[in-house]
Homo-oligomer: A and B are copies of this chain.
């Protein structure tokens, strides 16, 4: 039986960029529970994932700093004296990256490069854990996708995320910064953005189910994906922050078994006890950049850090819908509270 030990973090100063977002806030809850001294950096850009309700349970136990990773002066001040930097801030909408590609570059590439330059100058010993995305693999040449799979991004966001990753690896190789890369797959659970449908399908499907509105699935719904419940992703991030073996490494996260979008939607509807769906033809512009079925392998992180997902889809969806049943209005926007 696997038991995680987070005592490494007790009393340690740590920074979470994107700390009010979906994964950042869940991570913050765990770090506060572990006794870390937690600073949250979040830009609170309205269309992004930051939501003060996410951190309500720990509001008295963290230092909240609203600033943008693109602001080099604020970032430099916050980076000093941290022992671990959990670098989660990003523009994560593929759609937005095509509508406003330069902003995506500014956040996902340029601000990352500046953060690393800052760390090199003022805090080169801080562990940096970057949460990347398996989306950079593009249309998979084989499944499950391992870390040796070529990266072939299919949108501007993917290109900039690759650049952001590679800067981290380069600053490790050339300057010795102890950076770790996690490539996340589809993550779901409490505290996810539901305000709009431009940050991936899962949050949006959850919202439509909660509101008993019709989900539209493109094609026959046979495209397969793997999923991770957010607490499993948080465990991987914590392991990456404390394990010496992780330094300079790239790890995929992944689910245990892929599931088709149709089966996933049916599971959501069954567990939530509401919602419905219909199959609709592929819109031409979406079909053009669709990557088909994809799922990844977590063999490397299991071997090296002892991580594997512990929360199955049934349990994860139950927790997810329970959370949103009690908190839905906090996630409907447009104004964050």
Contact = CB atoms under 8 A, between A and B. Distances in A.
Interface of A: 98, 101-102, 105-106, 109-110, 113-114, 117, 150, 153-156, 159-160, 162-163, 166-167, 170, 173-174, 288-289
As for how many copies of this chain the complex holds, the number is 2
A156 B167 contact: yes
A113 to B, nearest CB: 6
A170 B136 CA distance: 13
Name A's interface SS. helix
**Which residue of A98, A156, A173 has the most chain B CB atoms within 10 A of its CB atom?**
A156
Contact of A166 (B106, B150, B153): B153
A113 B102 contact: yes
21 contacts: A102-B110, A102-B117, A105-B109, A105-B113, A106-B110, A109-B163, A150-B150, A153-B170, A154-B170, A154-B173, A155-B174, A156-B167, A156-B170, A159-B163, A159-B166, A159-B167, A159-B170, A162-B162, A163-B163, A174-B288, A174-B289
Contacts of A101: 113, 117, 167
A260 to B, nearest CB: 26
Contact of A110 (B98, B105, B174): B105
Nearest to A285: B174
A114 to B, nearest CB: 6
A162 B155 CA distance: 14
Given A105-B110, A174-B289, A160 B159 contact: no
Nearest to A155: B170
